Amino acid sequence: MYLDGENIIDIIDPTPKLLSENEITALKKYIYPLKTYEPDGGDTKDLAILDQLIDNSKVVGLGEVTHGSGVIFKMKNRIIQYLAANHGFDIFSIEANMPESYKLNNYTVRGEGNPKNLIADMYFGIWNTEEVLNMVEWMRRYNQPKQRIEFTGFDMQFYEGAINELLEAFKGNTDFENRIFDLKKKINETGLLYHNKGSVYIDDNKMEDFNSIISILWNNISTSPFQTSEKEWLQQNTVIIRQLMGLYCRNNMPLSDWRDKCMADNLMWIKEHNPNSKIVVWAHNGHIQKTNQKMGYHLVQKLGDDYVTFGFTFYEGSFTASGNRGFTSYDAIQAYPGTLEYLLEQVKEPIFILDMKKIKSDNNKDTEWLMQRLVYRMVGASGENQNEFFGGKISEDFDYLIFIKTSFPSKLLNR
């Protein structure tokens, strides 16, 4: 078994293999070549296939095989722009802390704040890149003269933003503020134990005390004079705090499974509060996938065919990650015989969408190898891994897979 920080994955020894001519010919029937990953590429006729692939789905998950590939970031930006302009996708949601992500909407809609600072304030350095900034700047332009897309997030690994939302709303209410500060103290104490030990057991009395404070805050919000939408947002911030405490004090549920369940719940909150909207989701492959109790698994249970997934991968190149040389560019391991990427490269198309949905429905004997458990790339935010390839059933994880032959690293911003 291998723990990559987000997933526990079985390691499979790859079996070297080349595709036969028949298999390559069959595979080509299920690929849709794309001419570029550049979001400012002009002509978008090659993306018209998305009209058919997405159809009437309301939530589209765009994955990434690593948190640091500039080409994948650009490709996702290009797709997001297409979906917004041609299919009315009006909410964007990223794998970053929920309250802090919503702050970016102040810039994308009203031009308030410094976008570089707001991106950095989402905590994850992986998003602090030129590619993400370019997407944010496009959203700002797209939202003029009126809002057409909203910037949101759905993660729950930090509490500061939620605490600040509550304090700002009840500024001057001494009793409420004191309860918030008491809550913050309890979270800090628990978080310190968690980071030292990996998990924390809190006795019933302490947990009851914590839940009591949350319940009082929830009730105070309910009886406040705020508009209904404001009340619901403030209550959602108390949910973020509960989720984080659950992360610290989970029982038998693995950390990654709890986080994925919470992220799915938060995305559903966004969907339920915007029932007529369409949402494009930006996260790692390991979160959007439809299996293994991941976020996508929970989403598909509630959304069914309304949830469509696009995984991403690449054959060779480099990516930005954290490693022995710090947070910088690292060379990827080139796909080798027996890996999915090695086999897909034999099609000799530099960028394409692979239609896993159609492959599954057609049941063609020359593509049945794609239905098996395969070795494919799975990298988080770490560089210099001894191995980047692990096992899984891509046919069950994703509806479609976007292959890009060569990756280059995302470009980090300077604040």
- Judgement on whether residues 259 and 290 belong to the same structural domain of the protein: no
Do residues 53 and 353 lie in contact, with contact meaning Cβ atoms separated by under 8 Å? yes
Q: How many CB atoms lie within 10 A of CB 316?
A: 16
Q: Write the CB contacts of 172 (distance below 8 Å, at least 6 apart in sequence).
A: none
Q: Dihedrals φ, ψ of 386, to 5°? A: -65, -30
Helix 228-248 × helix 204-222 angle, to 10°: 170
Question: pLDDT confidence of 6, banded at 50, 70, 90?
Answer: very low
- Judgement on whether residues 170 and 217 belong to the same structural domain of the protein: yes
- Judgement on whether residues 222 and 315 belong to the same structural domain of the protein: no
- Judgement on whether residues 294 and 385 belong to the same structural domain of the protein: yes
Report, as an integer, the average pLDDT of 354-377. 94
- Judgement on whether residues 179 and 283 belong to the same structural domain of the protein: no
**Residue 414 in domain:** no
- Judgement on whether residues 338 and 359 belong to the same structural domain of the protein: yes
- Judgement on whether residues 265 and 286 belong to the same structural domain of the protein: no
**Residue 415 in domain:** no
Q: Long-range pairs for 325-328 at CB < 8 Å and ≥24 separation?
A: 325/383, 325/384, 327/125, 327/412, 328/383, 328/409
Element (H, E) at 104: helix 98-110
- Judgement on whether residues 288 and 364 belong to the same structural domain of the protein: yes
**Residue 83 in domain:** yes
Name the domain boundary from 113, 133, 155. Answer: 155
- Tokens 């190149």 belong to residue: 317
- Judgement on whether residues 226 and 313 belong to the same structural domain of the protein: no
Q: Write the CB contacts of 217 (distance below 8 Å, at least 6 apart in sequence).
A: 166, 176, 179, 180, 183, 238
Name the domain boundary from 231, 255, 272. Answer: 272
**Residue 261 in domain:** yes
- Judgement on whether residues 181 and 264 belong to the same structural domain of the protein: yes
Beta strands 279-282 and 351-355 are unpaired
| pLDDT number for residue 27 | 96
| pLDDT tens readout for residues 248-291 | 886 567 788 999 999 999 999 999 999 999 999 999 999 999 99
Question: pLDDT confidence of 318, banded at 50, 70, 90?
Answer: very high
Provide the CATH number for the domain around residue 135.
Answer: 3.30.1870.10
| pLDDT tens readout for residues 77-130 | 999 999 999 999 999 999 999 999 999 999 999 999 999 999 999 998 999 999
Q: What is the C-alpha separation between 135 and 218, in angstroms, rounded? A: 35
Q: What is the C-alpha separation between 95 and 337, in angstroms, rounded? A: 32
Does position 222 have pLDDT exceeding 50, yes or no?
yes
| pLDDT tens readout for residues 31-81 | 999 999 999 878 999 999 999 999 999 999 999 999 999 999 999 999 999
| pLDDT number for residue 294 | 96
- Judgement on whether residues 43 and 113 belong to the same structural domain of the protein: no
Beta strands 351-355 and 326-331 are unpaired
Name the domain boundary from 125, 140, 155. Answer: 155
**Residue 413 in domain:** no
Does position 381 have pLDDT exceeding 90, yes or no?
no
Does position 8 have pLDDT exceeding 60, yes or no?
no
**Residue 412 in domain:** no
Q: What is the pTM of this model?
A: 0.94
**Residue 264 in domain:** yes
| pLDDT number for residue 10 | 46
Do residues 315 and 341 lie in contact, with contact meaning Cβ atoms separated by under 8 Å? yes
Give how many domains the chain has, as a whole number. 3
Enclosing domain of residue 141? 90-155
**Residue 253 in domain:** yes
- Judgement on whether residues 204 and 149 belong to the same structural domain of the protein: no
| pLDDT number for residue 16 | 45
What mean pLDDT value characterizes the chain? 91
Provide the CATH number for the domain around residue 308.
Answer: 3.40.1660.10
